Amino acid sequence: MARLFRLWEKKRGDRRTGSRLLGGLGEVLFAGSLFLLGVALLTNTIASRVHGEVGYGFGFWVLALVSISLTILGGTGFVLGVLQVGASRERRSALAKRAQKMDLLHEAPRQRDQFPTVPHDASLTNSPGTTLAFRLPTTNYSAVRLAASTIFSLLWNAIAVVLLALAANRWLAGHPDWVLTASALIFVTVGAGAVTYFIRQMLVHTGIGPTHVEISALPLYPGQSYDVFVYQAGRLEVTRLTLALVCEEEATFHQGTDVRTERQPIAEYVIFSRDDFRIEPGAAFEHQCQLQIPESAMHSFQSTHNAVSWKLVVRLDAVSWPPCERSFPVVVHPLASVVPSA
């Protein structure tokens, strides 16, 4: 039992407190009412237009759009609700699985039959390496962070400048507005922080040279050893460079109307680490080492809302640079995999 009840935490334990049938019927009735409301509103709007009571003005189109949206939302919800009320979750899941098997045109369904819920490694094995068999793609979180910080600092500082200009006008006119001035200063302070963060992200993204990781085989299996090759370019005075194998769990859940994702690294194995060395342009850092997958490792797992994933992580600490971390996903298969005959 939880030590403390947390109001905004996802509910644990039994996931349903009432009747499944009544819940389903409630959903169907709600969607049906929405559909009827939409149809009635649409009919009334069109009738008013036909009788000449309203023109093709802005109001007419807004009403038409709203009523069509209600009709579509209600109709779709009603049909889906009716389909789901009569069948158990197991039966729906079995039907969905049978429908997946009908997709014979692609390779992916065959792989999915052999290793259900194990992510495909096709996107990891399509790039050959220069030293080892495969060059791993990177998950480009730094580019996403850079884009997000760019948009945020632009919008925030635009508001800050407007507020600052208004406050300055009041001061120049001899009628200072203290509330407006304080608000503008707060916005400018936060904006300065946003710009600093943006510059750091830009430096990390563009200043530190590229990192490549290559591996001798894919997919990986528990208890097996593999060669790994790391390449780091740039002009850097490195205080520490680390390569680690990380296992991470990921859970996506609804919280009110929001969808949230939580990630938790649950295991980390440092493969190699080196301190205090320099990287010069034209003389990139290169290192080859052995990667041992733990005997008891869980295989990679991916379902709609949950995942267990493995990745190689390169962490770089260098003088005059913010810490940098680059991730390279890998796929671990179950040890006792038996491939059924096609």
Partner 1 sequence: MDPLISIRILRPERVFQPHEMLACEYQLDAVDAAELAAVEASVMWYTVGKGDEDLSVHYFERRTPGDVVDGDLRSLRRFECQLPNSPLSYDGFLVKICWCVRVRMFLKGGRDFAQDVPFRIGDVPRVQFTPPEEAAAE
Contact positions vs partner 1 (CB under 8 A): 10, 15, 21, 88-91, 93-94, 97, 114-118, 249-254, 262, 264, 266-267, 296-299, 301, 303-308, 333-334, 336-340
Residue 92 CB, nearest distance to partner 1 (Å)? 9
Q: Which is nearer to partner 1, 189 or 303 (CB)?
A: 303
- Cα 222–Cα 228–Cα 230 angle in degrees, nearest 5: 145
| Cβ pair 139, 329 in contact under 8 A | yes
Q: Which amino acid belongs to residue 17?
A: T
Tell me whether residue 279 or residue 332 sits nearer to partner 1 (CB atom). 332
Closest to partner 1 by CB, 53 vs 295, is: 295
Q: How many CA atoms lie within 13 A of 96 on its CB side?
A: 9
42 burial class (0-12, 13-18, 19+ CB within 10 angstroms)?
A: middle
38 versus 119: smaller Cβ distance to partner 1: 119
Closest contact distance (angstroms) between CB of 7 and partner 1 is 16
Nearest distance from C-beta of residue 305 to partner 1, angstroms? 4
Question: Please, which residue, 20 or 278, has the CB nearer to partner 1?
Answer: 20
Give the residue with the Cβ less far from partner 1, 326 or 333: 333
Q: What is each CA distance from 158 to 152, 191, 193, 248, in whole angstroms?
A: 10, 9, 14, 38
Provide the minimum distance between the beta carbon of 298 and partner 1 in the complex, in angstroms, as a whole number. 5
Cα–Cα–Cα angle for 187, 188, 190, rounded to 5 degrees: 65
CB of 89 to partner 1, least distance (A): 7
Q: Would the CA dihedral through 238, 239, 245, 251 be positive or negative?
A: negative
Cβ neighbourhood burial of 158 (10 Å; 0-12, 13-18, 19+): exposed
Smallest separation (angstroms) from partner 1 to the CB of 334? 5
∠ Cα 30 36 39 (to 5°) = 140
In single-letter form, the type of residue at position 325 comes to E
